[in-house]
Structure 1
Amino acid sequence: MDDDLTQALAWAEWLGAHALPVLAAALLLVLIACTALVVGFHRCGARTAWGRWPRPLLLGVCLAVGAGLLIATASLFAEMLEAFDAEEEIGHFDERLTATLARELPRSALRFFGTLTHLGDPWALTLLVTGVGVLLLARRHTSLALGWVVACAGGGLLNRVLKQIFERVRPVHDHGFAQADGYSFPSGHSSGSVVVYGMLAYLCLRLLPPRWHLSGVLLTATLAFTTGWSRVILQVHWASDVIAGFAFGVAWLTLCIAAIELARRYARA
């Protein structure tokens, strides 16, 4: 066993033994980053900043950012696919982490995350997407309603396609607090939560008074982050499945928001 693999397994053991405090610390960092983004959004004045850009430059930046993120995500997936085939560190890390979680986590934690994870179930996200879409149409935000539905539904469909491409088998999970079938990579709960709750945060910034912006973004970020990682805690996904789901979700979310903003600017011109 080489040194890199030994170190990876040691990290997996440590993370599995300290999963809950590590998860709490990671969530805190995410919330700090989101707070900084909201403060920057308010200080920079996103509406005027976007409005001063010439159309061709704005189009180029939106396409470059979206394409760059998607290419980076595709490269990440390709590297992971090679690692799966070669049974390199990433696969051994996933297996050791999952085994450690199964051994170390208390049943109370599994019960809590077994309830929390339903916030990322397809039926729950579908109900949320439908309800928000109807509300947007009722308020005559037609373009936002269209963007909301396309972003959320498109992310879900693309995730299904990726699962069929990779055909990765899930870890064994027999604790009874969660059940999942189908292929594992990338995690649909992770990507779906990032896209749906991320789009909800975007709508919050666009439609709600400024005093609700920070609380809305922090709430949606918490839901997306904890729902995604609940799949690892419950051992129904490998850690790399969730990381890949987050990466895909962020790339797709960024592309969709850029496209919606671009369409809005053209419509006003």
Structure 2
Amino acid sequence: MPLEAPALVLFARQLGEHSLAWFACVFAVSVLGAGMACRALQRRRIRRSSAEEPDEPRLAAGLAIGFLSILGAASLVAYLASKLGDGRLLGLADQALADAVGNHVPWAALVAFSWLTHLGDAELLAPVCFVVALLLWRRAHHGLALGWVMALGGIVLLNPALKRIFARARPLHDHGLALETSFSFPSGHSAGAIVSYGMLLYLALRLLPALWHVPAAMAAAAAIVTIACSRVFLQVHFASDVAAGLLTGLAWLLVCVSSLEYARHRKRRRIRP
């Protein structure tokens, strides 16, 4: 790397040299933040229900926020893709981070991440999808079952299509712990993780007692962060691949959750006397 490397490239190299410490910080902040946010939403919901506020303004605001978030995610993914050509700054930073991770992360940590990354494998999530859908259907939650299947099925179709559009090669590595042959951008594991575990959290918030909501939020955050970061540690994805995967997965998750909430609202309106 040249001595006069841009600041972003130097930062990426330093981030890679201390990547395990950064992962621990991001993991802790994400898990605790998810738990605190869930608890705050619980308290807010209690206050709102006691005040008997109308549903329409909240629903409209939620749909508007979801729509703007989708547009923002799409814009960010397009921006990331535009900066990944040969010799571009973001591509150089990606490579610097991958090289530093390969040189400084101990073997034991790589082995651990090679096991944890399977939490985002399609081979694991497909049976989970089937079992959850079956349980929802048998308990007469037909709308939730359909939404759950469409959420996971949609990201399975969306991510490979995006990979073929951008056709980015994966980073090189020689540890042999994880082998992938498809294109790199965006990360399918990251997109699948945020949709799958995000939808599981949504189902938990809808169906489980309030006592389980905070632990469910923390567990979902832990799984998403671990799976996404494992792809960088194992050098099967660049950091920008993971960022794009999280953004596309979040956008699709917002579409699915907003649609389910809208359907629930419409059903409540029809049965309300």
TM-score normalised by L of structure 2: 0.91
CA drift at 1:188: 0.4
Q: Mean Cα displacement is larger for which, 178-187 or 85-94?
A: 85-94
Match of 1:9 in 2: 9
Q: How many Å separate the matches in 2 of 1:30 and 1:220?
A: 10
| Separation (CA, whole Å) in 2 of partners of 1:155 and 1:50 | 36
CA contact (8 A) 1:62 1:262 kept: no
State whether structure 2 residue 203 is matched by structure 1 residue 203.
yes
The separation in 2 between residues aligned to 1:51 and 1:217, in whole angstroms, is: 26
1:32 is aligned to: 32
Question: 1:171 touches 1:235 (CA, 8 Å); kept in 2?
Answer: yes
SS of match in other structure, 2:243: helix
Aligned-partner Cα distance in 2 for 1:186–1:110: 22
Using the TM superposition, give the Cα deviation of residue 85 of structure 1 relative to its aligned residue in structure 2, in angstroms. 2.4
Deviation at 1:31, TM superposition (A): 1.5
Q: Tell me the residue number matched to 1:87.
A: 87
**What residue ranges of structure 1 are gaps of 5+ in the alignment?**
none
Give the 3 Å change call, closer, same or farther, for CA 139–263 of structure 1 in structure 2: same
CA deviation vs aligned residue, 1:62-89 (integer Å, no higher than 9, x gap): 4422322222122112212221126321
Aligned length: 266
CA distance in 2, matches of 1:190, 1:200: 15
User: Residue 186 of structure 1: SS of its match in structure 2?
Assistant: coil
- Cα deviation 1:204-242 (Å, max 9, x = unaligned): 111111111111111121011101110000000000000
> Are 2:74 and 2:247, in contact at CA under 8 Å, matched by a contact in 1?
no
Q: Hey, what does 2:182 align to over in structure 1? A: 182
Give the Cα–Cα distance (whole angstroms) in 2 for the partners of residues 51 and 148 of structure 1. 29
1:146 aligns with 2:129: no
Distance 1:132 1:45 in 2: 26
Q: Secondary structure at the match of 1:84?
A: coil
Deviation at 1:36, TM superposition (A): 2.2
Aligned partners of 1:163 and 1:178: how far apart in 2? 19
CA distance in 2, matches of 1:59, 1:201: 19
In structure 2, the partner of 1:109 is 109
In structure 2, the partner of 1:96 is 96
Find the counterpart in structure 2 of residue 157 from structure 1.
157
CA contact (8 A) 1:118 1:124 kept: yes
- Determine the structure 1 residue equivalent to 2:54: 52
In the TM superposition, residue 157 of structure 1 has moved relative to its aligned partner by 1.1
Taking the aligned partners of 1:202 and 1:41, their CA distance within structure 2 comes to: 13
| 1:123 Cα offset (Å) | 1.1
Q: Which amino acid aligns with 2:123?
A: W
Over 3 Å counting, the alpha-carbon distance change for 1:51 and 1:138 in structure 2 is farther
Q: RMSD of the alignment, in Å?
A: 2.0
Contact 2:77-2:248 within 8 A present in 1 as well: no
Q: 2:40, 2:117 → 1: CA distance?
A: 31
8 Å contact 1:51–1:265 — kept in the other structure?
no
The runs of 5 or more residues in structure 2 that have no matched partner are: none
Q: Is the alpha carbon distance of 1:70 and 1:87 closer, same or farther for their aligned partners in structure 2, counting shifts above 3 Å? A: farther
Bigger shift: residues 250-259 or 164-173: 250-259
Measured after TM superposition, the shift of residue 167 of structure 1 is 0.6
Q: Distance in 2 between matches of 1:70 and 1:50?
A: 30
What CA distance in whole angstroms lies between the structure 2 residues aligned with 1:133 and 1:42? 26
Q: Give the Å deviation of 1:50.
A: 9.7
